[in-house]
Structure 1
Amino acid sequence: MDIESLKNIVEKEIKERGFESLSYVLFDEDSSQPWATHLFFKNGKFQINSRDERSYIVGKTWEFDTMNEAKNEFFKILSQTVHAEQLANEFGFSHPYPSPLWDEEGKRFNLRQDM
């Protein structure tokens, strides 16, 4: 399996969707980047989890047999992150990290569901 090619495919789609400012880690299970959504391959499965400010796993680690399934869930989680942070703006809550997807006053990022 060519992990570098898979990483390039996901990074290309991240750029196409305008998600570059989100906190994510691709295929580096040992990364301790806080507030990130992690996509990696371990024990023959594609896995996804989200981390908190201390890089502890929040909730569970999702496992998938195919890259396509994992990629779809990964982008679903990133989209939900943007939506949740936009709602946080409406209620006056703070954000875990800055992103133009929710920081620019009056701007609402239109999440593309067709990708």
Structure 2
Amino acid sequence: MRIGEFVRTLNTTHETVRHYEQVGLLCPARDGNQKHYFDDHIQVFEIIQELKNIGFSLEDILLLFELRASVGCGSEVLIHEVKRKFANQIANLDNQIHDLTIRRDNLREMLDELSKVVPK
């Protein structure tokens, strides 16, 4: 399929697809000047989106893709690295939750103090 159909199929934008191509995440087949996308490109795009949605940067995703290309999908090395990155992401999220909880509690205290000065 051409880029227009690919974009419609994935409900994305031309700019997003071109950006993923520029950073090396998507590599469409070429026929002269025309690019063609296939089902495996759809799968790659969906994996990229899923990893982005859980907080991975495009750089991290590219590193995982490059590792997969060099050691093979399903290799112990790749699985170990994915597990490590997932654990790091969970730790980052835990830290963010902790920080947000403190900020929320501070805001509640301020609101309580303000409510004492000027009741609802």
TM-score (norm 1): 0.35
Flag the structure with higher strand content. 1
- In terms of Rg, which structure is larger? 2
TM-score (norm 2): 0.33
